Amino acid sequence: MIRPVAFGYNPQTAESNAFQKKLEMNDKEIQRRALAEFDQMAAALNDLGINVIVLEDSNEPHTPDSIFPNNWFSTHPDGSFCLYPMEARARRLERLAIENKEFAKICDKSKTVDLTSFEADGKFLEGTGSLILDHKNRIAYACISSRTNEEVLDVWARTFDFSVVKFGSFDERGTAIYHTNVMMCLGDKFAVVCLESIKNKAERLTVIESLKRTGREIVDISFEQMNNFAGNMLLLKNKNDEKILVMSKRAFESLKYRQIKSLGSDAKLAAFDIETIEDCGGGSVRCMIAEVF
């Protein structure tokens, strides 16, 4: 997790992120609230027995979205490390964090896959925002958008030896969903997904069949729930090997009783109040966490 120093509204990312909102408060107040939300969430994760590595952001260069590190890098069970091409120029600067000494403890640079050269061609793939990964079955789910390019996706899949389930995903206004991880989350035994956002019936059926074939119960969420970040969850394990499904307070409160019961049957549910981060940044709990394998 990256502790923010200058979190704020980024007009570059807002062009393709319909979840972002301009808040009626000054930059200092936005940063103050976001930092308080971040610190409370990081502390709560530690209290749950989850090992949290917190890296401090820097004032220069200005990176208002640094609180969402899962988009520019990913780590993998085989020890490999991947750097991704980012659509917003301001977000590319976040990769400078790789020079941080603390970051060196996270990744093995000798096993780095660097896809950032695609930025020169205007082609992007934004980490585990674009990719929902089923590591066990080596399947990547991805909704195609300006931030998830099919060519880069295919190169990534060949490199990591994954099959890919591609589809289009759109909100109720017909706007493309910017990242797959706002409409879909995978657990060991469940899949949270906004099926009505997948307009193409054949693509929707392909997603459903793949999820069922890999033994997952589908927890179908509505547009309203998706807009409350109910798709932006992440399944973690703590030091006692207990499963913890993390999400925002807003996401949890949008869930129906039967959905909570289904998700709670396989993991403990934990929710955090990060309203300012969600509104201003257009991302939620899952976006704030980059897994370290």
Task: Give the pLDDT score at 135.
Answer: 96
pLDDT band at 110 (very low <50, low <70, confident <90, very high): confident
Condensed to tens digits (0 to 9), the pLDDT of residues 139-198 reads 999 999 999 999 999 999 999 999 999 999 999 999 999 999 999 999 999 999 999 999
Region class of 65: left (phi > 0), else alpha (psi between -120 and 50), else beta: alpha
Whether the predicted pLDDT of 42 surpasses 80:
yes
Task: Give the pLDDT score at 134.
Answer: 98
pLDDT band at 18 (very low <50, low <70, confident <90, very high): confident
Q: Pick the most confident of 3-7, 18-22, 103-107, 240-244.
A: 240-244
Question: How long, in residues, is the chain?
Answer: 293
Task: Give the pLDDT score at 8.
Answer: 81
Mean pLDDT across the stretch 9-36?
A: 84
Cβ density class 242-269: b for 16+ within 10 Å, e for less: eebbbbbbbbbebbeeebeebbeeebee
CB atoms within 10 A of CB 145: 23
pLDDT band at 104 (very low <50, low <70, confident <90, very high): confident
Q: What is the CATH number of domain 2-288?
A: 3.75.10.10
Sign, Cα dihedral of 223, 224, 225, 226: positive
The neighbouring-strand residues paired with 74 are 82
Task: Give the pLDDT score at 114.
Answer: 96
Domain range summary for the chain, segments of one domain joined by +: 2-288
Say which range, 11-25, 63-77, 267-281, has the weakest mean pLDDT.
Answer: 11-25
Q: Which amino acid is at 133?
A: L
Mean pLDDT of the residues in the chain: 94
Task: Give the pLDDT score at 9.
Answer: 75
Q: Report yes or no: 149 and 174 within 8 Å, Cβ to Cβ.
A: no
Mean pLDDT across the stretch 36-62?
A: 95
User: Which residues, 6 or more positions from 170, have their beta carbon under 8 angstroms from its beta carbon?
Assistant: 176, 177, 197, 199
pTM of the model: 0.95
The two structure tokens encoding residue 64: 């208002």
